[in-house]
Amino acid sequence: MTTGIDLVLADHRQVEELFRQFESTRDPSLVGRIVAMLTDHDQAEHAALYPLARVVLADEALLQRSMIAHSAVKTAIDQLRQLEGQPLLDAVEALQALVAAHVADEETALLPALVERATAAQLEGLGARIEQAKQRVG
């Protein structure tokens, strides 16, 4: 069965691919896809990943760091929605940098800690909760 960690990592790879496509094409239609994916991912992590991490890890500083990163991404998305032309392209690049930093932190700190400390059942349950959260959103 797919675990929640697998789903989070798959989302990370998908959004990285969308950013790569945007870098090479500068196709503004990709911005909507990037924003939708990040929004769904954010809501799924808040609904499923972070509650599990809070219980399993009991590392409030690590969770706060992730929450701050998510807040910065949300703010960047809100600002990006007001732009067009070159300012939009610049904002997408800034968003990409924020997302890359957050993904790197999550993949080197939070996710490995969860893999180490959570049970197989907890990680499978996380996967189910992430999928449910995405269905509610999408």
Q: What is the pLDDT along the chain (138 residues), one digit of tens a residue?
A: 689 999 999 999 999 999 999 999 999 889 999 999 999 999 999 999 999 999 999 888 998 998 899 899 999 999 999 999 899 999 999 999 999 999 999 999 999 999 999 999 999 999 999 999 888 765
Q: Where are the domains of the chain?
A: 4-137
pLDDT at 138: 56
Question: Tell me, what DSSP letter sits at residue 28?
Answer: T
* b/e 20-37 (16+ beta carbons within 10 angstroms → b): eebeeeeeeebbeebbeb
* Whole-angstrom distance, CA of residue 101 vs CA of residue 70: 11
At 137 the pLDDT is 62
Could you tell me if 70 and 102 are in contact, meaning their C-beta atoms sit under 8 angstroms apart? yes
Compute the chain's Rg from CA coordinates.
15
Using alpha carbons only, give the angle 38, 41, 47 rounded to the nearest 5 degrees: 140
What is the distance between the alpha carbons of residues 102 and 66, in angstroms, rounded to a whole number? 7
